[in-house]
Amino acid sequence: MLNTLVVVEIALAAVLLASGGLLLRAYANLRDVDPGFRPEGIASFRVSLPQAKYKNGVPQRRFYETLVERIRALPGVTDAGAITCPPFSCHQGNFYKAEGAPAKKANEKDPVVLTRTATPGYFRTMGIKLASGRFFAENEGSPDGPRPTVINDVLEKQLWPDGSSAIGKRFIFNGDTNSRDWMTVVGVVKDVRHYGLARPMIGGVYLPMTSVDSLGSVQRLTVVAHTNGDPSALFPAMRGIVRELDPELPLFDVKTMQTAVNQSVASRRAIALSLATFAGIALALAIGGIYAVLSYVVGRRRHEIGIRMALGAQANQVLGLVVRQGLRLVAIGLVIGVPAGLLASRVLSSLLVGVRRTDPLTYVGVVIVLTATGAIAALIPARRAARVSPKVALSEG
């Protein structure tokens, strides 16, 4: 019964060590994923304008433009910008079609496109890389004139799947027929992992603030500012500027972009650390179980060990005898635990980034750790057995 209990403990430790190891490796890989922007040195906050006071897009746009300009002028700020939907936050989806695109097939669905309104300084501030073309300039575009837009790599491939460049081409909201609603692509940017580091990006489009007219509305905007120093040091000055422009406006989601990145992987990190902690507890129980069982066995076999040594058995032979018994329990536990770990890893498949659930390195590591710790746990009672005096053991019998 004791042996069975130890085998179960080792098998459980193998399952938890394998799961925890896979998740820790996946989390490490996740931290190396390029988010598509530079999170270092960026402070951000969100403001929401009340519609009763800022009735449409014109006063709203003026407020945001003034706010961004004043923040850009702060000491230590290298650039500033604003966007309606920053990374790791909201979703604003629309459907678009390219000019001259063929009609969709019967069962073919239009892809949902993430749509954001941004200031030109947003791209520079966030360090978003340009793949081709250019960013839209300050005051470029108007509600009644040309409407320049910036799209991402994914949308370029979706709207123009023939591989041609999107620069200079036009697209429109699906269903719009007004000629002034056509938008012209002036730039294509590298993908930003908007929905998290582990999730692929969908098609995305950035519209300039100048496209918002008296009929439009941009009530909520997130302002970002870049500094070479500590970004959190900008928060008091930012609050002061907002208070000067409108004392009644509160700030929301005041944080650095590095904090936003960390929060986006926090749940995965918590799961990985929890499993690693449980694996450590299971490993400690398995070590304690091996030690306790072998100590019990050595105590029960003192007389037998004394006879063996009286008949010429060497201390190293007795040592090996006890250690082999402990390693036999480890081997049986691994034979059960490793396949069980492979089955359990199916549940974790969605959390594994850059690592296969059958990753051989992880499972080899589990075997090595459990074998090594099992041998160490068996070594203490084994050495005690090797020091048994034949005369004392025989007299006890």
Is residue 129 within 8 A of residue 190, CB to CB? The reply is yes
Q: Whose CA is closest to 224, among 356, 120, 298, 380? A: 120
- What is the Cα–Cα distance from 386 to 306, expressed in whole angstroms? 9
Distance between terminal CA atoms of the chain? 25
The number of residues making up the chain comes to 397
- What is the Cα–Cα distance from 259 to 30, expressed in whole angstroms? 15
Q: Which two three-digit tokens encode residue 330?
A: 């480890």
Please give the C-alpha separations between residue 45 and each of 42, 64, 89, in angstroms, as whole numbers: 10, 13, 12
pLDDT tens track, the chain, 397 positions: 777 888 888 888 888 888 888 888 888 888 788 899 999 999 999 999 888 888 777 788 888 889 999 999 999 999 999 999 999 888 888 888 888 777 677 677 778 899 999 998 999 999 999 999 999 887 776 666 678 899 999 999 988 888 888 999 988 887 766 666 788 899 999 999 888 888 888 899 998 887 766 446 677 889 999 999 999 999 999 999 999 999 988 899 999 999 998 888 888 888 888 878 888 887 787 788 777 777 776 666 666 666 776 777 777 777 777 778 788 888 988 899 899 988 888 887 777 777 888 888 888 988 998 888 888 887 777 777 666 666 555 565 5
- State the pLDDT at residue 305: 67
Is residue 363 within 8 A of residue 341, CB to CB? The reply is yes
- What is the Cα–Cα distance from 133 to 339, expressed in whole angstroms? 53
pTM of the model: 0.75
- State the pLDDT at residue 215: 45
Mind listing the pLDDT tens digit for each residue in 3-35?
788 888 888 888 888 888 888 888 888 878 889
Q: Which two three-digit tokens encode residue 50?
A: 């009340």
Q: Whose CA is closest to 286, among 326, 320, 323? A: 326
- State the pLDDT at residue 351: 77
- State the pLDDT at residue 380: 74
Mind listing the pLDDT tens digit for each residue in 194-237?
888 888 888 999 988 877 664 466 778 899 999 999 999 999 99
- What is the Cα–Cα distance from 159 to 170, expressed in whole angstroms? 10
What contacts 155, CB < 8 A, 6 or more positions away?
Answer: 96, 113, 166, 203, 204, 205
Is residue 325 within 8 A of residue 31, CB to CB? The reply is no
